[in-house]
């Protein structure tokens, strides 16, 4: 049996496109995924004080900031 997970509505402004809205089941699954993600994060940071958590957060942000540039350099140097 095919399960409908979204509601499909024609866009009132752009007549050729549609808007999709999740039904209850996808919303439930999303909430479960977020709860599990938060539980795992809490487990990972168990025993860390706020200062250590902040330092790790800053390191992660630095990694995200430099990642695309690093890949560009890496691709260039491999040629």
Domain range annotation of the chain = 1-44, 48-79
pLDDT in tens, the chain (79 residues): 567 889 999 999 998 999 999 999 999 999 999 999 999 988 988 988 989 889 988 998 999 889 888 887 877 665 5
DSSP per-residue letters across 15-77: TT-EEEEE-HHHHHHHHHHHHHHHHHHHHHTTT--HHHHHHHHHHHHHHHHHHHHHHHHHHHH
Query: Which DSSP state fits 2?
Result: P
Kindly report the pTM of this predicted structure.
0.52
């Amino acid at each position: 049996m095919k399960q409908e997970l979204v509601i499909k509505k024609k866009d009132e402004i752009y007549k050729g496109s549609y808007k999709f809205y999740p039904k209850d089941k996808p919303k439930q699954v999303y909430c479960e995924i977020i709860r599990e993600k938060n539980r795992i994060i809490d487990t990972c940071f168990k025993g860390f004080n706020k200062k250590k958590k902040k330092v790790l957060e800053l390191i992660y942000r630095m990694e995200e900031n430099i990642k695309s540039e690093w890949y560009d350099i890496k691709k260039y140097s491999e040629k």
